[in-house]
Amino acid sequence: MKGVLTTADICISISYAKLTRIQNILLDVYVLKKCTVEQLKLISTDIHKELISTGKSENTDEHSTSIYIALVELCLVAADYKPTVRNRGLIGGVSYLKVHRRLGALIDSYLELFKDELNIVSAKISKQFSNKNN
């Protein structure tokens, strides 16, 4: 049957999509929901190291904490969650004043970066689906 996708088709499309390491991680944690809060803490460390190596992050605790908070907001919060400075402070284990004064813009920029990367993942996988159907 033409047009019907199987699990194998999806797995093959993902494997041929040539995702970057960060894109692979985001696919696992966001799309496939393969994480807990504890795992996300470790995953955020891996993403932080990868972003440092590509020049998209600085090697500071502020950047590390911002990445973790952005990942939690992206992957684990309820639909009615509001990204207030207090909520972000609770997630990151920092004071709301630190979020307000220094981390808020960083968190927003990492959230935007992760959303952009997920859009790229979607485009790459969609391209592989269309290649399969041609």
For 60, the domain range is 7-133
For residue 7, what pLDDT is reported?
77
Its pTM stands at 0.88
> CA separation (Å) from 44 to 6, 129, 131?
32, 30, 33
Question: How far is Cα 102 from Cα 104, in angstroms, rounded to an integer?
Answer: 6
Phi, psi for residue 115 in degrees, rounded to 5: -65, -40
Tell me what percent of the residues of the chain surpass a pLDDT of 90: 68
For residue 3, what pLDDT is reported?
66
**Average pLDDT of the chain to the nearest whole number:** 90
Residue 134 pLDDT grade (very low, low, confident, very high; cuts 50, 70, 90): low
Residue 2 counted as domain residue = no
Residue 1 counted as domain residue = no
Number of structural domains found in the chain: 1
